[in-house]
Structure 1
Amino acid sequence: MKANSFYLAAALALSAIALPAYAQHSMTPEQKAEAAAKKAEAEAAAAAAAAPAEPVASGDVDTSERTIWDGVFTAAQAEAGKALYTTNCQTCHGATGRGGPGGPAITGAFFNKNWVDSSVLDFYTFAHTQMPPGKAGTIGNEQDYVNIVAYVLEMHGADPGASEMVYNEDQLGNIFIVKKP
C-alpha cells in the first residue's frame, strides 16, 4: 500500500469517527463504545504507519528495470538522506554535491562520467564500502546509505516519486544510472 494513500485513508477514517463532543451526548453506550473502538483502531493504524520501516522482503519491492529518472525514491527518503549527508558527507562533497576542498563532486558531469551505465547498487556499494574514507560503513545501517543515495540522486536532478527505494539488491541492481533523457 502506498504511504500517501494510507495516510489519506487514515485521516478520512479519523475524521469520520471523531464526532463532535455535542453529538456524543445523544449516543447510546453501545454507539459510544463502537465509536471509541473505531477511533482506537484508526489511531493504531496511523501510529503503525509512522513507525520506522522494517527490512523489506524481496517480494515486496518493485524489481523491474528502471532508471534514476523514474521516481525511484520518495521525498521522505531524500529528506532523511539529506540530514545524513549534511552531517557526514557535505564537508568533502559540498552542500550541493558539486565538490569541496576535501573531495570530488558527486553530481552533474562528474557523476555522469563515473556512474552512467552502472546500477544504483554499484553506486550504493561504493558509498557503503568506501565512505566516509577511513570509516567506511559507519554512517548507519544499509537503509541509511540508501537514503543518502536517494538524496544524491535528488541533488543530481532526479525527482522523487511514489516508489520507495529500499536496501534490496534486486531492486537496486535494476535501477540504472543514465543521463537525463
Structure 2
Amino acid sequence: MAAALLVLQLSGLSMHGQSAEAAKVSIWSGLYSIEQAEYGRQEYMDKCSNCHADNLVGMFPAPPLRGAGFVTRWNGKSVRDIYSRIRSTMPADEPGTLSRKETFAITAFLFQENGFPAGENELTGKPKELQQMMISLEK
C-alpha cells in the first residue's frame, strides 16, 4: 500500500484524485529499506557518533537523535525538513559534506532507531516529494 501511495504521489495523483501537493505520505508507511538503514548505521558511526554518541543519546551540545525528544522535535515536520537539516549542517565540523546517498541513509537509520517501520524501497526523492512525507507520532 505504501509503495502504491508513493507511486501515486510521484505521478501527481492520489487515491482521491487530489494533486501530489495535497497528498501526504506518513512515515508509518515505510519510507526506507532495512538495507538503507544498515548503510546509514555505518555512515552514522563514521560521521555522526563523535558528537551524537554511538547510542544516539547525544553529547552536549549535540542533541539526542533517538527517543521522545527527537520524535517530539520532528513531529509534524516533513522528511525534507530533517533531510535538509542533516545535509546542510552536518557533520558539525564539516557541514554540507555528506552526499545525498549518505544523507538519505543516515535519515533512514534515524527513522529505524526511533521505531518507524521500514518498507520495500529506499528513501529518496526530490525536495517537493520529500515535503509530502510527514513525520508523525500517530500512526
- Is 1:143–1:167's contact at 8 Å kept on the other side of the alignment? no
- Is 1:72–1:164's contact at 8 Å kept on the other side of the alignment? yes
Output the aligned Cα RMSD: 2.1
Larger Rg: 1
Q: What is the number of equivalent residue pairs in this alignment?
A: 121
Change (3 A) 1:167 1:144: farther
Residue in 2 that maps onto 1:122: 81
Q: Which runs of 5+ in 1 are unaligned?
A: 1-57
CA apart distance, 1:102: 5.6
- Is 2:33–2:119's contact at 8 Å kept on the other side of the alignment? yes
Matched to 2:55, the amino acid is T
Change (3 A) 1:180 1:154: farther
- Is 2:78–2:132's contact at 8 Å kept on the other side of the alignment? yes
- Is 1:97–1:106's contact at 8 Å kept on the other side of the alignment? yes
- Is 1:99–1:105's contact at 8 Å kept on the other side of the alignment? yes
**Using the alignment, how far apart are the partners of 2:125 and 2:100 within structure 1?**
6
TM-score using structure 1 length: 0.60
Q: Which runs of 5+ in 2 are unaligned?
A: 1-9, 12-19
Residue in 1 that maps onto 2:69: 110
**Identity in percent:** 27
Change (3 A) 1:117 1:68: same
State whether structure 2 residue 47 is matched by structure 1 residue 88. yes
